[in-house]
Amino acid sequence: MECAVYDTYVTKKDGKIMHFDVIVEASTPHEKAIEYGKEFLEQVGQGNQTMTQEECQFCHVQEAPPVVAKDIENRGYFIQKMEGCP
């Protein structure tokens, strides 16, 4: 499966930066990737933080590893946690 990777930096409620990638099937609209990112923020207690195209920018397209493809097939997206993520 080809997937699109959106590089995302969100300011958390404590003022620190949380960095993660929103990974979706390649034909998924950017707006939907942002919705998925907001869903993730809700899940980790960071709901209502600003997340727009400014914070969530398209990075590249790549072949999805099996674990990523499975999550995308099951819920529409995969979150690759990086800096500052719980």
Over residues 13-70, the pLDDT tens digits come to 999 999 999 999 999 999 999 999 999 999 999 999 999 999 999 999 999 999 999 9
pTM of the model: 0.95
Q: Which domain holds residue 65?
A: 10-81
The total domain count for the chain is 1
pLDDT value at residue 41: 98
pLDDT value at residue 43: 97
pLDDT value at residue 82: 97
pLDDT value at residue 42: 97
Tokens standing for residue 11? 């300011």
- 41, part of any domain: yes
- Fill in the DSSP letter of residue 11: E
- 1, part of any domain: no
Report the C-alpha gap between 79 and 68 in whole angstroms. 9
- Cα torsion through 71, 72, 75, 81, rounded to 10: 60
- The answer to whether the CB of 57 falls within 8 A of the CB of 6 is yes
**E-assigned strand segments in 1-77:** 2-11, 17-25, 56-63
